């Protein structure tokens, strides 16, 4: 990230962010804010990008219609559900999300699932007419999940 006179080139922040933070951040950079009648779900990151600022702890929840995805992040823990497969990752220790810890850390897994369900109950229902796409195995470079006939 870089902004001459405000943010030094190559600045890296450990602040947990999500795409919805860009709207309030860019509006703040432009000297304005979201319309109070339509508040953003994101936060203004500008104060957190100043030199020496300590990252603000955040819990994030999201969902994505394609493959019925659900996710929650709290600190280094991430709950993820894709179709009927559920996972718990310690993303600081396992950034590639390879070790599913849901059985070994059932307490954290159960808490994040319950918190996601509580958050989701406050959201509008997903529109059954909407479309969100994704890649199939045949479209991916490693053809993940594709039967090759070998």
**Distant-in-sequence, close-in-space partners of 144: CB < 8 Å, separation ≥ 6:** 137
Q: Please state, in angstroms and rounded to a whole number, the distance separating the CA atoms of residues 148 and 150.
A: 6
Residues whose CB falls within 8 Å of the CB of residue 128, separated by 6 or more in sequence, listed in order: none
Per-residue pLDDT, 132: 80
Show me where the domains of the chain are located: 11-56, 59-120
- pLDDT band at residue 148, thresholds of 50, 70 and 90? low
Q: What pTM was estimated for this model as a whole?
A: 0.77
59-120: CATH topology is: Arylsulfatase, C-terminal domain (3.30.1120)
Q: pLDDT tens digits for 82-141?
A: 999 999 999 999 999 999 999 999 999 999 999 999 999 999 998 888 878 777 767 776
pLDDT of res. 143: 64
């Amino acid at each position: 990230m870089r902004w001459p006179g405000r943010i030094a080139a190559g600045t890296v922040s450990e602040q947990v962010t999500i795409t919805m933070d860009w709207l309030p951040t860019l509006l703040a950079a432009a000297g304005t804010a979201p319309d109070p009648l339509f508040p953003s779900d994101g936060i203004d990151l500008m104060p957190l990008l100043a030199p020496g600022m300590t990252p603000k702890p955040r819990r994030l929840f999201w969902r994505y219609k394609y493959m019925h995805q659900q996710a929650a992040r709290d600190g280094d823990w991430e709950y993820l559900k894709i179709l009927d497969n559920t996972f718990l990752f310690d993303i600081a220790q396992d950034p590639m999300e390879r070790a599913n810890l849901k059985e070994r850390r059932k307490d954290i897994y159960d808490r994040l699932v319950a918190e996601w369900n509580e958050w989701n109950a406050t959201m509008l229902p997903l529109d059954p007419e909407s479309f969100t796409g994704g890649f199939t195995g045949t479209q991916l470079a490693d053809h993940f999940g594709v039967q090759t006939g070998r």
